[in-house]
Amino acid sequence: MSRIKIAGGRIYDPANDIDGEVRDLWIESGKVVPAPTDPNRRPDRTIDAGGYAVMPGGIDMHCHIAGPKVSAARRLFPDVPTREHGNKNGGGARPRLPLVPAAPMTGRLFAAMGYTTAMDAAIPGLLSRHAHDEFHDTPVLDKGFYQLFGNNHYVLDCVREGRDEQLDAYLAWGLSSCKGYAVKVVNPGGVENYKHISRKTIRELEEPIEQFGVTPRQIVESLSAASDRLNLPHSVHIHCNNLGIPGNWETTRKTMEALGGCRGHIAHIQFHSYAGTPDDPRSFSSATQRLVDYVLEHENVTIDVGHVHPGRTLSMTGDAPFAAHLKRLTGGKWFTADTENEASCGVIPGEFKPHKSLVHAVQWAIAIEWYLLMLDDPWRVALTSDHPNGGAFYRYPEMIHLLMDRDFRREAIERMPADLQQRTMLADIDRAYTLNDIAIITRAAPARILGLKNKGHLGIGADADITIYAPQDDIRAMFERPHWVFKSGNLVAQDGEMVAATPGNTFFTSPEFGMSQLPGIRDWFEQHYSVQLANYPVREEEVCRPLAVG
């Protein structure tokens, strides 16, 4: 393996307290290595990074890039483009790209933007092989998925009966068999309730699920505790009840409280931060500050934002009740599906028009409020758009521009509906991100939240995933087209174009605790569901890297 020296770059490595210092980086065998002490050991290649900003590769910890609902979206909406638009600060019109790229293009677009790791946010265990097949076809990226358990029949029975040991064993078996990375909860109880004849979701955390007698609060309590008992690298990953409903901030806070001190990650929190009353859309406003206050006081809680971009989007979610609600609101094309005993999904196109719609403007502002207010502790927040729900991942540079440039942000606010300032506090927040802050929320913090010890930093032994930007006045353009991108020490992209389709790794975890209970789980399944439990290995040629747990 060749030895590479990245010379004289300004290093932004917040995990190691390096903020723009001019240093050299050495790469060998896919890792960051110490500088050689022998002056005769010269690099095989030297990259002159003088004047450039050097960061770890980007990490998207919550997106939808593989699996059955992503494939359904590609089939139903193959020609849904992004809007072509420019900006007032010199940004040109963006090319028309699909909202849901095919797997090969997904890897190419992420790599060209300087991202080297992405985690799919919701895969049913029964359909996990589909996701692994698409991972196999996605170049460059290291990736993994969160496995859906929050509406699983066996989980609900264990929660109701207090069978913690069997719950732990089932989660351990499921993650090991399907090669998942973390426990995912979507609209706990509400999805399963909707799948019955009633077609109704659950609005209150204390409301029991029909036929199971379990509440959403009990599901959150049990799965967060189980994730901690199993010592999973990432906490339980929660999509709260009442997504998109005015007044849902109280549900979000109660969900955080239900963690009871256990670790918990609240996904796409922008969609769960609304004040107002459910029956009065005109009451829609921001409750960001109240939730930020809670998060800052409780270190067990982490979040990703789920911001929205103006333009076309595609709602893609394991929350079928919300998709049905959105279908009623928009009347557009709609796809929905149930996975037996386990999960569901909904896919529906849409468009955010914050310059015309006050509700969309409030959603846009709430996301930016979250980013700016969490500057008090940026290590517990990750930049995401819940791709493609809030907009395509390749538009992240637009949000970075808004966060770093106060004047650009003020101009954007002025173009929004006049009532926005009465419903949000964004115009009064005079904060801006630095390059180091951006490196935290796009690299270091997601890696720490996920428990990826070799990602998100440039210390000795880190994976040599490195992005090198040419600083320029146009912040969006700077982050759209990094000058060099290295993945595991290999140059994979230059000036916004992928130059090498190297394979990536798949992250999964294989907890051993509780596996002695597996025979009992098999007996229970065969008695209740007349199915045979089996393992679902990924394709032999796929490169998988298990993570040590503990």
pTM given for the model = 0.91
With 0-12 / 13-18 / 19 or more C-beta atoms within 10 angstroms meaning exposed / middle / buried, residue 266 is buried
Q: How does DSSP classify residue 309?
A: -
With a CB cutoff of 8 Å and minimum separation 6, the contacts of 34 are 26, 460
User: What is the SS3 string spanning 390-451?
Assistant: CCCHHHHHHHHHHHHCHHHHHHHHHCCCCCHHHHCCHHHCCCCCCHHHHHHHHHHHHHHHHC
Decide if 68 contacts 336 (C-beta within 8 A).
Answer: no
pLDDT by residue for the chain (550 residues), tens digit each? 689 999 999 999 999 999 999 999 999 999 999 999 888 788 899 999 999 999 999 999 999 999 999 998 888 877 544 444 444 444 445 567 888 999 999 999 999 999 999 999 999 999 999 999 999 999 999 999 999 999 999 999 999 999 998 899 899 989 988 999 999 999 999 999 888 767 788 889 999 998 899 999 999 999 999 999 999 999 999 999 999 999 999 999 999 999 999 999 999 999 999 999 988 878 899 999 999 999 999 999 999 999 999 998 888 888 888 888 887 878 778 888 888 888 888 888 889 999 999 999 999 999 999 999 999 999 999 999 999 999 999 999 999 999 999 999 999 999 999 999 999 999 999 999 999 999 999 999 999 999 999 999 999 999 999 999 999 999 999 999 999 999 999 999 999 999 999 999 999 987 765 455 566 666 666 665 554 444 444 443 333 443 433 3
Alpha carbon 29 to chain centroid, angstroms? 29
Sign of CA dihedral 461, 462, 464, 470: negative
Alpha carbon 442 to chain centroid, angstroms? 11
Amino acid at 216: P
Decide if 55 contacts 466 (C-beta within 8 A).
Answer: yes
**Backbone angles phi and psi of 302, in degrees to 5:** -125, 165
Token pair 């300032």: residue: 421
Closest CA to 56 of 465, 498, 502, 483: 465
The CATH architecture of the domain made up of 54-83+97-506 is: Alpha-Beta Barrel (3.20)
CA 123 vs CA 150, 243, 393, 472: distances in Å: 12, 19, 19, 39
Closest CA to 226 of 523, 517, 519, 522: 517
